Structure 1
Amino acid sequence: MRTRVAMLAALFLSFFISMPAAHAATGLHVSGTKILEANDTPFVMRGTSHAHTWYPTQTASFADIKSLGANTVRVVLSGGRWTANSVSDVANVVSLCKQNKLICVLEDHDTTGYGEASDARTLDQAVDYWISVKSALVGQEDYVVLDIGNEPFGNTATTPGWTQATSAAITRLRSNGFQNLIMVDAPNWGQDWGFTMRDNASTVFAADPQRNTVFSIHMYGVFDTAAEVTDYIQRFQTAGLPLVIGEFGFNHSDGNPDEDTIMAQSQAKGVGYLGWSWSGNGGGVEYLDQVTNFNASSLTSWGQRLFNGANGIAQTSVQATIYGGGDTPDTQAPTTPGKPTASATTTFTTTGQSGSGCTSTYKTVNSWQGGFQGDVTVKCTTAVTNWKSVLTYPAGVNVTQSWNSAYTASGTTFTFTNAAWNGTIPAGGSTTYGFIGTWNGSGTPPTPTLS
């Protein structure tokens, strides 16, 4: 018996020694359900898609998307179904992402609806395109995720199927030297209503010799209930596989997606999400524009919800550590020795709740030339059903929009009151609201007094 056990142990050991080890991932990589940076810090995507291939001159959109708090932008490219994006153009897109401290998800849109759309291209043809622009991607593994092909199959049966074609595309990219984190989209126009991706994700993941693939589901009308959204995300969590919501909207021609649950569950489970899309939609889905005519100061209702609503981008996005972390670095030297104060705390009385003992804490989340994003946490020692916070700034400051609150202005004094959904704060509980402001000056935005 001991001899047989020893032989079996030796065979077992030799089997694992002979198995090829997965190549160590470079830059952005996955570990279980999480995406990590090169330094192993978790990174959760919070952003939107920009239709660069159709609007190549709208390069200011990268800075505008960043100004609203995004940490990621998904960029639409084409290898020839539309005007092809050249290697120099792709390199410029990567440069714009890096200049604006955004993680760049590049996707080839040519594959959209293959099997139903007559001009759609195969995933193998998408790999041909990525190989043709490889020089723009080599060395960018800290910054660039490669989404092989957008919505690569429609609803009809095709040969080879999604599992085989996706596995083959990943294998071919790796054999051609690509080290980037790879993203793969679901079939069924991205919505996986037949659960092909969900049920075969482990097979596709194993096809990647680097085990560095993340799965992307597009949530539109198929995901119109909280149960459907929650179940799909949980299936990947249970399987220990990484998932992002690669596209979603607040409405669609095929149904009404449950964007509230999509965003809440993504935040609760540490799953990335990318809304569709910044601007320039056509074909009857113009309502999915997040800003009007590429104007960042003209948010649509969908844009307000995505960027400034509960579990939205401004509230939950954290900048990649490759760019210096979550907050904009303070480059202004203090006027006296010591570390500059990052926040101010003051006690105030909530409306109709005299003596409630609530406090508010302010911090600057992000800033850029002439603008900034503020964040205020309201915390109460006793239960309240509504609250009020007053911020007073020096001359030259104006608040232009807020979320999770309503506000009024009197000069440079801004009074924020709760929204309909966050007025009730239990004893010891808290809530957060945020806003976008402008100011005349440079360096660090002014800190308000609170009352």
Structure 2
Amino acid sequence: MRKRLRIAEAAIISLLALLVSMLVAQPAQAAVGLRVSGTRIVEANGNNFIMRGVSHAHTWFASQTTSSLAGIKSLGANTVRVVLSGGRWTPNSASDVANVVAQCKANRLICVLENHDTTGYGEQDGATTLDAAVNYWISVQSALTGQENHVVINIGNEPYGNNNVSAWTQATSNAITRMRAAGFQHLLMVDAPNWGQDWQFTMRDTAASVFNADSQRNTVFSIHMYGVFDTAAEINAYFNSFQTAGLPLVVGEFGNMHSDGDPDEDTIMSQAQSRGLGYIGWSWSGNGGGVEYLDMVTNFNASSLTSWGTRIFNGANGIRQTAREATIYSGGGTDTTAPTTPGTPTASNVTSSGARLSWSASTDSGGSGLAGYNVYREQGATDPQLGQSTTNSISLTGLTAGTQYQVYVRARDGAGNLSGNSSPVTFTTTTGGGGGGNGCGVTGTTQGQWGNGYVIQPVTVTNTGTSAITGWTVTFTLPAGHTITGSWNATLTISGQTVTAKNAGHNGTLAANASTSFGFQGSRPNGNTQVPAGYTCSSP
């Protein structure tokens, strides 16, 4: 009964706040400290800040926090996401939170503080509401006021499971409104529903209204990428949606594997880096319940990296390679000076699917230091990025056989400034199999998916040979329990879990380098997030 009364009181307070805001139009307050600027996060001095860090489960392993934060910093991170609780687990008091913030600052880390009590609300027993999470933040506000340059408040971890997900939008908007009414000036972070993975796209589709609920327009959205995000197409589509909307996004959690599927961590990290998005991996140490593989170090020991820890800290686009310390610690000023333009690339070791590019290095006089280079394919209005390098060379992979590429390079510094375009180099990949041999290549794209189904479109078939083909056959594998419920532009036959797709009458003849496509719809058991894989192509 008392719980119902509190909920009713909160609803009345929220309604009164809304009525007042409608009667007295107030301009948005200027944010202080860390803040949103378009799709970016910047510091108070205007410098870009791109999160590169990991989570530490302080509320369960408080005795390990001192050594853990030092270890996380020693491996190159600029951010730590700290798990807190208001009572679902060991509660963390204002003095405890103040100590955590002090340790973050001592280790020169930006401190993302998250309330874990909301995890799986509506689906998991014991989970609390976002309204209760706000009550917790108000109870520890004394430890946070004045720390806006150093602290981001992640209001509630994974605040909805898979039930009543549509309520996320209003609940999150109300939580932001209450935080601002209570006087919090910090950059706020809000997690997606569906256990953080937003597979129903609730956060994606309503993010603009949630962002506008913040009187300071200082909220960043956090997507957790596990098994739902197991293909490059899904990852890029999600990133693109926020980029197109002009809204800020970070990957607030991700792993290299998970019980619900195999996340594509390579694409998550490479695309986050190329797009200037922050990422925070889960988690430092102490995982249990069958997900021990998500530990980055063994027994909280920074010198004992696991395979996941080695990947995220030391691998391509990893933390050591890409993290830049916040200028609140390094003392850097606003750097608006772009690096010099790099030299024209030269191409070598050209194959059917890759090439090696090298160029003369740029220099940087703006004070942020040369951070690396972005490599683009020149295509006119929108030039796709092919890769990123911290040195003045790169090995490109995944190119299309028998295709001409015109590629240029831009340098970038630690503040995110980009140089001018180098002169382009032109090269043509050799002809070859490109995904199945016999002059035929194939790629499959997941257009959309929901709880028990998906649409794969387009499945693009390309003649990678030097002469025309008069027919093609594509094979791929259905995961166990999946069925095909419809298809178009190809004739499909199924044997066990193997699907064979043959061209239709109108799209079998392809000239050299020409492409066509087909698509299909599939059904799968609820809770299964897999999609078909293993596409191969052949032609007569």
Give yes or no for TM over 0.5.
yes
The CA distance in 2 between the partners of 1:32 and 1:301, in whole Å, is 36
Contact 1:319 1:325 in 2 (8 A): no
Question: Which residue of 147, 156, 165 maps to 1:149?
Answer: 156
Q: How does 1:141-290 map to 2 (within 5 A)?
A: 141-157=148-164, 161-290=167-296
Residue in structure 1 matched with residue 471 of structure 2 by the alignment: none
Q: Structure 1 residue 324: deviation in Å?
A: 1.2
Which structure 1 segments of 5+ residues have no match? Answer: 1-17, 327-356, 362-374, 379-403, 406-417, 432-451
Q: Structure 1 residue 20: deviation in Å?
A: 2.1
Q: How does 1:350-429 map to 2 (within 5 A)?
A: none
The CA distance in 2 between the partners of 1:102 and 1:376, in whole Å, is 19
SS in 2 for 1:241: coil
Counterparts in 2 of 1:23 and 1:359: CA distance versus 1, 3 Å: closer
Contact 1:147 1:183 in 2 (8 A): yes
Deviation per residue, 1:74-99 (Å, 9 max, x gap): 00000000010011110000000000
Counterparts in 2 of 1:421 and 1:287: CA distance versus 1, 3 Å: farther
SS in 1 for 2:303: strand
Deviation per residue, 1:302-359 (Å, 9 max, x gap): 0011011110100000000000158xxxxxxxxxxxxxxxxxxxxxxxxxxxxxx999
TM-score using structure 2 length? 0.58
Residue in structure 2 matched with residue 69 of structure 1 by the alignment: 76
SS in 2 for 1:254: coil
TM-score using structure 1 length? 0.70
Task: Tell me if 1:115 matches 2:122.
Answer: yes
Q: Structure 1 residue 156: deviation in Å?
A: 1.2
Aligned length in residues? 341
Deviation per residue, 1:156-207 (Å, 9 max, x gap): 126x700000000000011011111000000000000000000000000000
Counterparts in 2 of 1:112 and 1:376: CA distance versus 1, 3 Å: closer
Give the partner amino acid of 1:93. V
Aligned CA-pair RMSD: 3.4
Task: Tell me if 1:42 matches 2:57.
Answer: no
Give the partner amino acid of 1:102. L
SS in 1 for 2:286: coil
The CA distance in 2 between the partners of 1:128 and 1:358, in whole Å, is 55
The CA distance in 1 between the partners of 2:184 and 2:307, in whole Å, is 39
The CA distance in 2 between the partners of 1:208 and 1:151, in whole Å, is 19
Query: Displaced runs of 4+ in structure 1, greater than 2 A?
Result: 357-361, 375-378, 418-422, 427-431
Give the partner amino acid of 1:54. W
The CA distance in 2 between the partners of 1:249 and 1:358, in whole Å, is 34
Contact 1:46 1:71 in 2 (8 A): yes
The CA distance in 1 between the partners of 2:324 and 2:82, in whole Å, is 19
The CA distance in 1 between the partners of 2:175 and 2:313, in whole Å, is 34
Q: Structure 1 residue 137: deviation in Å?
A: 0.2
Contact 1:360 1:377 in 2 (8 A): no
Residue in structure 2 matched with residue 302 of structure 1 by the alignment: 308
Give the partner amino acid of 1:100. N
The CA distance in 1 between the partners of 2:208 and 2:61, in whole Å, is 36
Residue in structure 2 matched with residue 94 of structure 1 by the alignment: 101
Residue in structure 1 matched with residue 507 of structure 2 by the alignment: none
Give the partner amino acid of 2:48. P
Contact 1:360 1:376 in 2 (8 A): no
Q: How does 1:2-17 map to 2 (within 5 A)?
A: none
Contact 1:162 1:187 in 2 (8 A): yes
Q: Structure 1 residue 221: deviation in Å?
A: 0.2
Deviation per residue, 1:209-246 (Å, 9 max, x gap): 01100000000000000000001011101101000000
Q: Percent identity?
A: 69
Give the partner amino acid of 1:78. S
Q: Structure 1 residue 37: deviation in Å?
A: 0.5
The CA distance in 2 between the partners of 1:360 and 1:218, in whole Å, is 36
The CA distance in 2 between the partners of 1:83 and 1:261, in whole Å, is 36
Deviation per residue, 1:353-408 (Å, 9 max, x gap): xxxx99999xxxxxxxxxxxxx9999xxxxxxxxxxxxxxxxxxxxxxxxx99xxx
